[in-house]
Amino acid sequence: MKRILIIEDDEGLRDLLENFLEETGYQVVKAADGLEGMDAIEREQFDLIVVDVMLPYVSGIGLLKIVKKRNPQLPIICITGYGNSPEELAEREHADRVLPKPFDLTDLLAAVQELLPEQAR
């Protein structure tokens, strides 16, 4: 089963994403901020990361830079509610996908399935 790390400071959205992705067949680990996310990445292996661009302690962009430097193949989906400049920054730092909030869960699932091919689940 593919493992996804969700790093999102909005508890309601974090829980919604967890429930949705688990229902579609993924194992999910959650983190509430950038530090928790980095701790999880240090301790565990993930097949994909979903990270909010704006996070407390370590930003989503900072986390993206660190992860891509260590493991450029690890797919990362950035989510942002702050318009074009964070989206452009995430793309420049090699996010695999950027989803502007609010996004449809089917768009998230499509991105996840594209980055994690079905046969590899």
* All domains of the chain in start order, with CATH: 3-120 (3.40.50.2300)
C-alpha span between 88 and 69 (Å, rounded): 19
Residue 86: what pLDDT? 62
Residue range 83-100, pLDDT digits in tens: 667 667 777 788 999 998
Q: What is the pTM (predicted TM-score) of this model?
A: 0.93
Residue 83: what pLDDT? 67
Q: Mean per-residue pLDDT for 19-25?
A: 97
CA angle 28, 31, 35 (to 5 degrees): 140
Residue range 31-70, pLDDT digits in tens: 999 999 999 999 999 999 999 999 999 999 999 999 999 9
Residue 90: what pLDDT? 77
β pairing state of 27-31 and 76-80: unpaired
C-alpha span between 85 and 89 (Å, rounded): 6
Q: Mean per-residue pLDDT for 17-31?
A: 98
Q: Comparing C-alpha atoms, which of 50, 61, 58 is closest to residue 13? A: 50
